[in-house]
Amino acid sequence: MLWLLPGSACFAQEGMITVEQDSSITHVLSLYKIFATEKRQVNGYRVQLASGNSRQTLMDVKAKFLQKYPEMGAYLEYQSPQFKLRVGDFRTRPEADAFVIEARKNFSAAFVVPDKVIVEGVEW
């Protein structure tokens, strides 16, 4: 194809560009896609059931909780000088408030705390 411009001539060429890419890049991109669409941490709420210095005591409370609510996440965290047992992954405060009423039937010290929560199916 010939294009004429005042005072100059330009020629366009047709062709093919080949990009060679290491296979590990493809693998990393596929992992990123899975991470981006399956699980992601966002600001939300959890219900704190207990806290204390004894990890074993909180593990026992966690086991008791999971017997009653096996589908719900339970997370034992250490924030010096205490362990904290928090449950649930609630996006909104009203969702957490509704569950804390249920939880207090078996765990009287339960209360809602803001936390990073894991949600599924959230796009970046």
| Domains of the chain, start order | 42-119 (3.30.70.1070)
Look at 8 and 21; give whichever has higher pLDDT: 21
Task: In whole angstroms, give the CA distance from residue 73 to residue 59.
Answer: 14
Query: Residue 25 is encoded by which pair of tokens?
Result: 């890049």
pTM surpassing 0.85? no
Contacts of 9 (CB under 8 A, 6+ apart): 2, 3
If residue 68 lies in a helix (H) or strand (E), which one and from where to where?
Answer: helix 55-68
How does pLDDT run across 27-86, given as a tens digit for each residue? Answer: 888 777 766 655 578 899 999 999 999 999 999 999 999 999 999 999 999 999 999 999
- Burial annotation 77-89 (CB, 10 A radius, 16+ → b, else e): eeeeeebbbbbbb
Over the Cα atoms of the chain, what is R_g? 27
